Amino acid sequence: MLEGERILMIIYVILKRTFDTEEKIVIQNGKISDDGAEFIINPYDEFAVEEAILLRDKHGGEVTVVSVGDEDNEKELRTALAMGADNAILINNEEVEEKDQHTTASILAAFFEDKAYDLILGGNVSNDNSTGQVGPRLAEQLNIPCVTTITDIEIEGDMVTVVRDAEGDTEILKTSIPLLATAQQGLNEPRYPSLPGIMKAKRKPLEEIDYDELGIDEDDIESLTETVTVFLPPEKQAGKILQGEAADQVKELVTCLHKETKVI
Amino acid sequence: MDFQLDEDIQFLKNNIRNFVENEVEKVAMQIEKEDKIPERTIEMAKEMGLFGLSIPEEYGGLGIGMVGKCALYEELGKTHNGFTTLIGAHTGIGTVGIVELGNEEQKQKYLPDMASGKKIGAFALTEPEAGSNAANLKTTAVKNGDKYTLNGTKHYITNATEADVFTVMAVTDSSKGAKGITSFIVEKDFPGFQVGAIEEKMGLKGSHSAELILEDCEVPEENVLGEVGKGYVNALKILTNGRAGLAARNLGSCQKLLDMSMEYAQERKQFGVPIIEHQAVAHMIAEIGVETEALRSFTYRVAWMVDQGEKLIKEAAMLKLYGSEVYNRVADKALQIHGGVGYISDYPIERYFRDARITRIYEGTSEIQKNIIAGQLRKEYS
Ligand SMILES: Cc1cc2nc3c(=O)[nH]c(=O)nc-3n(C[C@H](O)[C@H](O)[C@H](O)COP(=O)(O)OP(=O)(O)OC[C@H]3O[C@@H](n4cnc5c(N)ncnc54)[C@H](O)[C@@H]3O)c2cc1C
């Protein structure tokens, strides 16, 4: 073993089941309808799964994927197992009436309370609600360092070097294990689950627990937010083609931007 | 009777669908123009395990039955047929011989590398003078000590330029006709083995068919596949069991053509209405729908028969014939529905139209299938 090199890493990935990016959103009775919709692993969480597998393959250890949701989440957990994760855990929160990011983070915090881990990876945001809160909230509750929107991660012993995308700028940070990090696009290119991997995934452990087995009370994890209304963005209007001399077109364009769209 | 696919197979199928939609479709035009499948796409297909589709699990493959394989081939049929043929010829006629007829040593030696795609397989039966009359082979194999010496020329061999391992039929006893033919496993590095010119062809771009030249090609005795003298029967067996897979690929292409035709017919307006409102167009759509669905039922029925180990010479020939003819009719109607767009090479329809054409010729022409079917029926009724 090289000086300072870790040989075994315990990695967890928190994973959300979300709408397929290509689904058309339909609102029914004030709620987003999931009738007949296709679901996928949240794309940012998929980067996290891929990175966890790469880190495990490099340093040795184990990858466990954890998802909070209902039985349907098994499909996404199985996909992560097929990609190469070792274990999967489904925490069922179907019974909780009012849920938001606080609910998910609190359930996960209760789950991790008695666990040993080096790294918890997740997505930067989910492609449905896009709040980006679950990761940081969980880190806060676990009282461990948290880095969001990472595009690279290197681990040497207990030291971790992370490159993060700071809204277009690049930041390089040094931190230490245990750590929670959330993945940004560009971290890696997630693999397709291999077909033999899918067959093997059937035999890998997928454990299901109820959130109340974690010793938490529904009252403590209930939603802190309230959804007032849900609406679709206005339909895109037809474009406008300017005509005539270039100089006149420029004038008209400036007027439009100023008066019609009010962007300047 | 249960028409539901297993959950595992459904899962595999969805994954192939994602791969096809995201990775293969985007390079389809490129494959067509360059007559070459990008290395990266082939690499990804290998990483996914697509090359091990018909190899048992103990040799590194998927280990699924024919119904499952057909479900996966159906997805592969929904994209560029050249790509599908590279994989289909390898996983079908290219590996099935070793899987079904190989002894333990041969399986251990070849199958793991073929499952991972490290080694590509091909099947070499056809010769300039032995097409439909496949028993009329001129390639000879003469035994010298513990080796066979092969001499002759094969042509139109799919994957010839890519392959490492060939299942080759040659005459070991010319006095016995079809019963004097033997199959051999020939590696591309064996002395005296050479790949000749690549044929330019009408379609299936990216998949290459070429000549094989065997000039005092030395093949060790342990590379005889199955029994000496059973090569012709073996070849028919390999082709027969492959029929369902080929039909499933055709089925996938029909489904894709239906999808594209529906989308186009609902969007394209002439005389103030979407063209699907014109009954003649709607009826073409209906015909595509019916034939595709009928092909689906027939394909999975024959696949199921393969899994039950049933005798299926007649049904396999019927399916080969039907699947190929349906694909051609569907491609023709889809092209008609697309009008001028259907004929323009910037759109995929004309490609399917050209690619469909080969299915009535290779792996036994439509006419030969009818001969087999009629022959079997006559036996049944005699
Ligand atoms: C792109 C491509 C890929 C191929 N890949 C492979 C491969 O991987 N391996 C391999 O071994 N071969 C391969 N082939 C060969 C293919 O299987 C033969 O071309 C096919 O079997 C027909 O043989 P033929 O071309 O000699 O035609 P012929 O046998 O000369 O047939 C000409 C015509 O006569 C008809 N005909 C012949 N005999 C009869 C009869 N008794 N009754 C009624 N009609 C008859 C045929 O149906 C056809 O219409 C490939 C061919 C092509 C074009």
Say whether both B172 and B254 belong to one domain.
no
Q: How far A194 CA lies from chain B's nearest CA (Å)?
A: 4
Question: How buried is residue B10: exposed, middle or buried, by Cβ count under 10 Å (0-12/13-18/19+)?
Answer: middle
Say whether both B17 and B110 belong to one domain.
yes
Q: What CATH code is carried by the domain that includes residue B217?
A: 2.40.110.10
Q: Is the Cα torsion angle A178, A182, A186, A190 positive or negative in sign?
A: positive
Asked if B50 is an interface residue toward chain A (Cβ–Cβ < 8 A), one would say yes
CA–CA dist A85, A14 (Å, integer): 12
Q: What CATH code is carried by the domain that includes residue B70?
A: 1.10.540.10
H/E element, B52:
none
DSSP-derived letter for residue B361 is: T
Asked if A78 is an interface residue toward chain B (Cβ–Cβ < 8 A), one would say yes
Say whether both B240 and B213 belong to one domain.
no
Asked whether residue A51 carries a pLDDT value surpassing 70, the answer given is: yes
Say whether both B135 and B75 belong to one domain.
no
| Mean of pLDDT values over B59-85 | 96
Q: What CATH code is carried by the domain that includes residue B266?
A: 1.20.140.10
CA-B89 nearest atom, ligand 1: 8
Asked whether residue B140 carries a pLDDT value surpassing 60, the answer given is: yes
Q: Is residue B1 part of a domain?
A: no
Show the 3-state SS of chain A.
CCCCCCCCEEEEEECCEEECCCCCCEEECCEEECCCCCEEECHHHHHHHHHHHHHHHHHCEEEEEEEEECHHHHHHHHHHHHHCCCEEEEEECCCCCCCCHHHHHHHHHHHHCCCCCCEEEEECCCCCCCCCCHHHHHHHHHCCCEEEEEEEEEEECCEEEEEEEECCEEEEEEEECCEEEEECCCCCCCCCCCHHHHHHHCCCCEEEEEHHHHCCCHHHHCCCCCCCCCCCCCCCCCCCCCCCCHHHHHHHHHHHHHHHCCCC
In A, which residues are within 8 Å of B23 by CB distance?
192
CA–CA dist A101, A246 (Å, integer): 52
CA A111 to chain centre: 18
Task: Name the band, by pLDDT with cuts 50, 70 and 90, for residue B325.
Answer: very high
Instruction: Please give the model's pTM, rounded to 2 decimal places.
Output: 0.89
Say whether both B264 and B188 belong to one domain.
no
pLDDT of residue A7: 61
DSSP of B236-266: HHHHHHHHHHHHHHHHHHHHHHHHHHHHHHH
Cα-to-centroid distance, B132 and ligand 1 (Å): 5
Say whether both B343 and B252 belong to one domain.
yes
| Mean of pLDDT values over A22-47 | 87
Say whether both B134 and B259 belong to one domain.
no
Task: Name the band, by pLDDT with cuts 50, 70 and 90, for residue B51.
Answer: very high
Say whether both B23 and B77 belong to one domain.
yes
CA–CA dist B112, B29 (Å, integer): 32
pLDDT of residue B353: 98
pLDDT of residue A125: 92
Asked if A192 is an interface residue toward chain B (Cβ–Cβ < 8 A), one would say yes
Asked if A53 is an interface residue toward chain B (Cβ–Cβ < 8 A), one would say no
Of B116, B151, B174, the residue at which a domain comes to its end is B116
A241-255 residue pLDDT tens:
888 899 999 999 998
Of B56, B90, B116, the residue at which a domain comes to its end is B116
Say whether both B68 and B191 belong to one domain.
no
Residue B243 · residue B320 · CB < 8 Å: yes
Q: Is residue B2 part of a domain?
A: no
More confident residue, B152 or A234: B152
Q: How far A136 CA lies from chain B's nearest CA (Å)?
A: 31
| Residue of B10, B48, B76, B116 best to disrupt the A interface, most CBs of A under 10 A | B48
B150-164 residue pLDDT tens:
999 999 999 999 999
Look at A194 and B11 and tell me if their CB atoms are within 8 Å: no
Q: Is residue B87 part of a domain?
A: yes
More confident residue, A35 or B373: B373
Mutation choice for ligand 1 from B161, B240, B361, B363, CB with most ligand atoms inside 8 A: B361
Of B95, B116, B137, the residue at which a domain comes to its end is B116
Asked whether residue B234 carries a pLDDT value surpassing 90, the answer given is: no
Q: How far A179 CA lies from chain B's nearest CA (Å)?
A: 31
Asked whether residue A231 carries a pLDDT value surpassing 90, the answer given is: no
Say whether both B168 and B221 belong to one domain.
yes
Look at A197 and B49 and tell me if their CB atoms are within 8 Å: yes
Q: Residue B181: which domain range?
A: 121-229
Q: Is residue B194 part of a domain?
A: yes
Token code pair at residue A112: 């991790």
A117-150 residue pLDDT tens:
999 999 999 988 888 999 999 999 999 999 999 9
CA A226 to chain centre: 22
More confident residue, B240 or B102: B102
**Pick from B304, B314, B204: nearest CA to B248:** B304
Which residues surround ligand 1 with Cβ inside 6 Å?
B 89, 123-126, 131-132, 156-158, 201, 204, 209, 358, 361-365, 367-368, 371
More confident residue, B238 or B217: B217
CA distances, A160 to each of A1, A49, A141, A199, B43 (Å)? 18, 18, 21, 34, 32
CA–CA dist B87, B289 (Å, integer): 27
| Mean of pLDDT values over A95-115 | 92
Say whether both B39 and B179 belong to one domain.
no
Asked whether residue A218 carries a pLDDT value surpassing 90, the answer given is: no
In A, which residues are within 8 Å of B16 by CB distance?
195
| Mean of pLDDT values over B73-78 | 98
CA-B133 nearest atom, ligand 1: 29
**Where is average pLDDT lowest: B105-109, B148-152, B231-235, B289-293?**
B231-235
Look at B48 and A195 and tell me if their CB atoms are within 8 Å: yes
List the beta strands (DSSP E) in B82-226: 121-124, 140-144, 147-158, 165-171, 181-187, 193-198, 209-220, 224-225
CATH architecture of A9-221: 3-Layer(aba) Sandwich (3.40)
Say whether both B260 and B377 belong to one domain.
yes
pLDDT of residue A1: 40
- Total domains present in chain B: 3
Asked if A202 is an interface residue toward chain B (Cβ–Cβ < 8 A), one would say yes
Look at B47 and A198 and tell me if their CB atoms are within 8 Å: no
Look at A196 and B49 and tell me if their CB atoms are within 8 Å: yes
H/E element, B189:
none
| Domain locations in chain A as residue ranges | 9-221, 236-264
**Pick from B206, B192, B254: nearest CA to B89:** B206
Q: How far B4 CA lies from chain A's nearest CA (Å)?
A: 18
CA–CA dist B331, B356 (Å, integer): 7
Asked whether residue B123 carries a pLDDT value surpassing 60, the answer given is: yes
CA distances, B155 to each of A243, A259, B211 (Å)? 62, 72, 4
By percentage, how much of chain B surpasses pLDDT 70?
Answer: 100
Asked whether residue B1 carries a pLDDT value surpassing 80, the answer given is: no
| Mean of pLDDT values over B19-42 | 97
Set B127, B363, B367, B380: catalytic member: B363
**ipTM value of the model?**
0.81
Residue B105 annotated among the catalytic residues of the structure: no
CA atoms within 13 A on the CB side of B292: 24
| Mean of pLDDT values over A26-43 | 87
Q: Taking all residues of chain A, what is their mean pLDDT, rounded to a whole number?
A: 91
DSSP-derived letter for residue B164 is: S
